[in-house]
Amino acid sequence: MNDTKRHITLIKTVLLALLIHIPASYGTGVISPYTKSLISEIKERNTADTLSLKSSRCDERLNCYILLENEEAVENLVSEGIEINSISGNIATASIPVCQIEEAVNIQGVKRVESGAPVSLSLDIARAETGADAVQSGTGIDMGYDGSGVIIGLVDSGLEYDHINFYDNNGNLRIKRIWQQGDNTGTPPDGFSYGSEYTTQSEIEGIKYDTPTGTHATHVAGIAAGGYRGSDFYGIAPNADIVYVKFGDNQTSVTDAISYIYSYAESVGKPAVINLSISSFVGSRDGSSFFDRVADELQGSGHLMVGAASNYGSRKMHMSGSFASPTDTVKSFMNGKYTLSNTDYIEAYGDKNSYLNVKVSLYDLANDKEIKASPVISTLRYSEYALTLTEGITGVINIYTETDYLSSRPHVFIEKKISNVNQGYAIAIKFSGASGKSVHAWGYLDDFSSNNKTGWNDGNNAYTVSEIGGTGKRIITAGAYCTKLFSQVSLNDISPSSSRGPTLDGRTKPDVTAPGNVVVSSYSDSPNIINSSYYAPYLSAGETVTVDGRKYYYGAMSGTSMSAPVVTGAMALWLQARPELTPEEAKEIIAETAREDEHTGDTDITGNTWGYGKIDIIEGIKSCLRLNSVKDAYSDNADNIKLYYSRQSESLKLLCLNDSDETSLSIYNISGQSVFEKQYGRTTAGEEYSETLSSLPQGTYIVKCRTKTRQYQLKIIK
C-alpha cells in the first residue's frame, strides 16, 4: 500500500469512529462568508493579467477547514488534488488550490468549506505575585517544581531560538522541535503537506530566528519557560521542554500546530500545555467554531491549552440589543476612516434558530438622513450584496448573510473597503428580528457609536474575548492585571485593555487573570529589534546580560499575550505534579484557589473581568497533590466498607461488609475544605447508607470514610 492510500485509510478509520451526526436537512455544501470575501480579494489581485488568472490561482493554495459528511469524502477530496493535513471528528484541515475552493463544496461528502480567519499576535515580580517562586523552591510542599518532564507548546511569531533563556544548565537547548509553517525550504513534519520542521539542536541554532522583525514569541516563551538564572527575569516553568510552531496564515494552521505539538508530546511520553497568545476576529464567540470544536476534541488528560483573552477591553467594538417587535430595530454608526489597505469587518450573530435582517446605509449626520442604502437583507437564505458609495464616503461595502451551520445562529458578515470619509458622514447599520430575540455585533478596526442620536446604540467592551484564546469550552482563558508600574495603569488592578466576557453562549470569561501589565522577559537580539526606536523604551525597562562575550536582551511588554504564558507556566508546574491533569480539573482548581482581593471584588459579580480571580500557583499545586493522594476504595480487597457514587441520582452509598466502630463520612472539595460531615457511630455488616449530594455544586470531591481502624477514600466528579 503506498503512503497516500495508507494516509487515506487511516483518516477514514478515524473519521468513521468519531463522526458527528449531521442533520439530513442541512442540504448542499456552502462556503463561509469570510472565505467568499477572501476569494473575491484574490480574484481582484489577479485581474491585471486575465490570461494567467486561472493558473496563478491554482498555484496559490489556502489552508481551510472542511466539514465532512462521511468517510468517503476524504478519498474524494484527495482524488481532486486537495491535501488533507489533519482530522478531528468530522472536521478536516486541508490545503486547497484557490481555483478549486468554489468547486470543492460540490465534492460528494463535503458540507462546508471555510478558510480559517487571520490570526494576530495579541517576570521577577510575576513569579512572586503568583506563588511560582514558592513552587520552584518547594516552600510548603513536598518538593520544588520547575516544569521538568513537561512540554510547553508555543504557537507564535518572533522567536530567537538560541537566546540563553532557552538552554538548560548543561548547555542543552530546551527547544526540541520547530515547525515553521510558512517556510517551504525544508521538509514538512510527518503527516503535513507544508512548512519546514527542524529537530536537532544544530539545525535549530543554525536558523537563529523564525523572523528577524519580531520578538513577541521570544518574550512569551521566556515568561512561560525561560530558564537562565543569571537574570532575575526567568520564567514560571524554567526546566520545561519547548516545542515551537511559527504559525502560518490563518486559524487552520493553528489547528494543525496544536495537533503537531500534542503528537510530539505523546511520542516522548510527556504531558503538554500549549500557549496561544494569539487571537482572531472572525467567529461566533460561542465555542461552536471549527477551531474551538477541534481544540476541545484534542485537549484531555495531560493535554491542556491556555489562551489570551485579547486586548480589546479599552474599545467599544461590541454592540447589542433586543427586538421588542419584528419592526423594532437595533442600530448604530461606525465613523472610522480607513483606507483600502485596511479592510474592516463587522460581524453579527443572533439567537439560535432565529433570523436577522440587516440594512447598511451611508448616513448624513447633520441632516439626519440616509443618502444611499442597501435593501433589507435576511439571513433566512444565503445572500451577497455590494453597496458602492461615491458621495460623502467613497468605497464599497460587501454584505453577506446566512444561517451559520456550526452555531445555528443567523450570521451577518460585512466587509468595508473605504478610501475616503468626509466630515459629517457615517456608515449606519440597522438590524431587526423576531420579537424577544437579540443581536450581537462586533467591529474589527472600527468601534460603534450612537453619535449622540436618540435611539441609536453606543458600543461597549462586553463580549470582547476573541476567537482562538477566549471562546473554547475547554481552553483556559487568561486576562491581565498590572504588577509593574510602567504606564498609567493602577498597580494590581485589571489592565484596561484586557478583554471582557462573557461568551455569546453565556459562559464566564476569562477563566483567570495573571500579571500581564507590565512583564519583563527575554527579547530577540535582531538588529531590527534592539536598534528600533519603537522598542527602545521597553528595552530600557529590562536589562542586558553578557555571557561569553555575547549580549542577551530583556525588555518589557504588556497585554494578555503576557498573562497567558504566566498561566501556561503554572499549568506546566501542575502537570509536573499531576501528569494526567484534565482541562476540567485544571479549571476547577483555578475556581477553588484563585485569589480575590480589593481589586477583583466578588468574582461572582466581576467574573467577566477577572474570571475566578488571580492565579495562585502554589495553592493550585497543593490541590493537584491532594488529587494524587486519592485511592478508590474498590481496590482494597480487605475493605469493611464499600463506597459507591451515582452521578445520575447524585447519591453516595456506603455498604457495610463487616461490623465497624466509629464510622464517619467526610467530603472535601479539591482545596481541602470540608463540604459534608456525618457521624454514623457503630455500623453493622449488611447495612447500607445513602447520602444525597444534590446540594453540592458541580466539581471534583474527595470522599473519606473513617472507621476506628481504617480509612477509605474515593474521588467523585459531580
C-alpha to C-alpha distance for 658 and 636, rounded to whole angstroms: 14
Residues facing 242 on adjacent strands: 152, 175
Strand order in the sheet with 61-68: 30-31, 110-115, 61-68, 91-97, 83-88
**Per-residue pLDDT at 96:** 87
Residue 619 lies in a domain: yes
CATH number of 62's domain? 3.30.70.2980
Residue 300: pLDDT over 90: yes
Domain final position from 115, 135, 152: 115
pLDDT recorded at residue 368: 95
Per-residue model confidence (pLDDT) at position 485: 62
Burial class (CB in 10 A: 0-12, 13-18, 19+), 568: buried
Return d(Cα 638, Cα 659) in angstroms, integer.
13
**According to the model, what pLDDT value does residue 253 have?**
93
* In the predicted structure, residue 551 carries a pLDDT above the cut 90: yes
The pLDDT of residue 240 is 98
Q: Grid coordinates representing 256?
A: 494543525
Q: Which residue has the higher pLDDT, 188 or 112?
A: 188
Same domain, 90 and 157: no
Query: For a pLDDT cut of 90, what percent of the chain falls above it?
Result: 60
Q: Average pLDDT, whole number, for the chain?
A: 87
Instruction: With a cut of 90, say whether residue 250 has pLDDT above it.
Output: no
Domain that residue 63 falls in: 3-115
| 3 state SS of 513 | strand
- The CATH number of whichever domain residue 393 belongs to comes to 2.60.120.1290
Question: SS3 for 344-410, per residue?
Answer: EEEEEEECCCCCEEEEEEEEECCCCEEEEECCCEECCCCEEEEEEECCCEEEEEEEEEEEECCCCEE
Tell me how many domains the chain contains: 4
> Looking at residues 607-612, what average pLDDT do you find?
95
Q: With a cut of 50, say whether residue 591 has pLDDT above it.
A: yes
In which band, very low, low, confident or very high, does the pLDDT at 141 lie, cut at 50, 70 and 90? confident
Q: Which residue type sits at 220?
A: V
Q: Please report the pLDDT score of residue 630 as a whole number.
A: 61
Closest by CA to 502, choosing from 434, 440, 593, 454, is 440
Tens digits of residue pLDDT in 12-40? 333 333 333 333 222 234 888 888 888 88
Q: What is the torsion angle, in degrees rounded to the nearest 10, for the CA atoms of residue 337, residue 338, residue 344 and residue 346?
A: 0
Looking from the CA of 664 toward its CB, the CA atoms found within 13 Å total 10
Same domain, 141 and 107: no
pLDDT digits (tens, 9 = 90+) for 7-19: 443 333 333 333 3
pTM of the model: 0.83
Q: Output the pLDDT for position 487.
A: 57
- Per residue in 509-526, pLDDT tens? 999 999 998 899 999 999
Amino acid at 628: N
Q: Provide mean pLDDT across the span 306-318.
A: 94
Q: Residue 350: which pLDDT band, with cuts at 50, 70 and 90? A: very high
Beta bridge partners of 556: 520
- pLDDT at 341 (0 to 100): 55
pLDDT number for residue 338: 53
Query: Can you give the pLDDT at residue 25?
Result: 29
Query: Rounded distance, CA 431 to CA 438, Å?
Result: 9
User: In this structure, are 234 and 187 located in the same domain?
Assistant: yes
Is residue 637, in this structure, part of any structural domain at all? Answer: yes
By annotation, the residues acting in catalysis are 156, 216, 561
Same domain? 160 vs 291: yes
CATH code, domain with 518: 3.40.50.200
Are 676 and 697 in contact by the 8 Å Cβ rule? The answer is: no
Cell numbers of 581, please? Answer: 491533569
Q: How many residues are present in the chain?
A: 718
Evaluate if residue 499 carries a pLDDT over 60: yes
- Percent of the chain exceeding pLDDT 70 equals 90
The answer to whether residues 618 and 682 belong to one domain is: no
Residue 201 within any structural domain of the chain: yes
Q: Quote the CA–CA distance of 621 and 575 in Å, as a whole number.
A: 9
**What pLDDT band is residue 644 in, cutting at 50, 70 and 90?**
confident
Domain annotation covers residue 61: yes
Instruction: Judge whether residue 365 has pLDDT over 50.
Output: yes
CA–CA distance, 180 with 161 (Å, rounded to integer) = 12
Q: What's the CATH code of the domain at 675?
A: 2.60.40.3080
Whether 520 contacts 219, CB under 8 Å? no
- Confidence tier at 246 by pLDDT (50, 70, 90): very high
Q: What is the pLDDT of residues 399-431, one digit of tens each?
A: 999 999 899 999 999 999 988 888 899 999 999
Residue at which a domain ends, from 625, 657, 683 = 625
